[in-house]
Amino acid sequence: MTAESHETSEPLVRVENLVKHYSKRKLVGSVEEVRALDGVSFSIFRGTTLAIVGESGSGKSTLAFCLACFEKPTSGNLWFEETSLSGLKEKDRRVIRRQIQLIFQDPANSFNPRWSVLEILTEPLVLQGNLSRDEMHPRAQALLEQVGLSSHLGEKLPSELSGGQRQRLGIARALGLRPKLLILDEALSALDCSVQAQIANLLMELQASLGMTYLFISHDLAMAAHLADEIAVMSRGQIVEQGAPEEILTHPENRITRELLAAVPRLDLSRPPLAES
């Protein structure tokens, strides 16, 4: 999407001066305040990807939880379309939660290990309640196909799938609810490089075919640059640098961005090439 089309379209997500503090009890009894988010603002436009990168503990997952309505911000404002997420009633919060789906590093933790792939896919459809029993099976099969999983995997248990297949299943289950926003919190981090690339391609295909909007959270600046229209770099609960991937990769201004860039071996031009063994 170009800068001009951003100006004419409304953002799907708007975050304004978001603050989240946690109280942490120390051993000696005093309470320490952790500023997990310390005044974060950004927008995400429909059909685009914003990547959030940052070191461990910088507040990325806290941001994801606040946006997905699992955590209540200390202060600040969040809008999803025209709806302000602060002060939502539980009934409205449930509607928004369906439209914002979160995908984590290992989706296996959120699958019932005794359920088959098809059962895992039909459960959210049952909860949604607007499909008949007869419609559910074909819908679940269509979801499998949409994420590139063969239909014969339908009877398997999650433990019988590879890491990449499990992550595809996690994406399929999220898509079942027809979300408008997918938040991917380190969703590729546990996978081998080649599998990461395959899932990244799947995400891009889904974005092209369904117009999905993504918040892609990662430590990996190279993957973030590959997938995103815009990158925001976080440190200590704040966005310290934000811009187009090419800008961030070629002219990193903040020390944290330069450190993240140095941690990406394939982009580290300062190192001599590896000698062949």
- Chain centroid to Cα 45, Å, comes to 15
Nearest distance, CB of residue 61 and Mg ion, angstroms: 3
- Chain centroid to Cα 267, Å, comes to 23
Nearest distance, CB of residue 22 and ligand ATP, angstroms: 3
Beta strands in 99-178 (DSSP E): 100-103
Q: Which of 11, 54, 73, 158 binds ligand ATP (CB under 6 A)?
A: 54
Euclidean distance between CA atoms 210 and 216, whole angstroms: 17
Identify the three-state secondary structure at position 169.
helix
Nearest distance, CB of residue 179 and Mg ion, angstroms: 20
Residue 218 binds Mg ion (CB under 5 A): no
With CB atoms as reference, the residue minimizing the distance to Mg ion is 61
Residue 62 binds Mg ion (CB under 5 A): no
Q: Which of 24, 72, 93, 251 binds ligand ATP (CB under 6 A)?
A: 24
- Which H or E run includes 260? helix 255-262
Residue 158 binds ligand ATP (CB under 6 A): no
Among the residue ranges 59-67, 75-83, 144-152, 269-277, the one whose residues contact ligand ATP (CB under 6 A): 59-67
Tokens of 35: 């500023």
Single-letter amino acid code for the residue at 37: L
- For Mg ion, give the closer residue by CB, 61 or 165: 61
Residue 40 binds ligand ATP (CB under 6 A): no
Identify the three-state secondary structure at position 129.
coil
Query: Angle at Cα 156 formed by Cα 153 and Cα 160, nearest 5°?
Result: 105
Binding site for Mg ion (CB under 5 A): 60-61
Binding site for ligand ATP (CB under 6 A): 22, 24, 34, 36, 54, 56-62
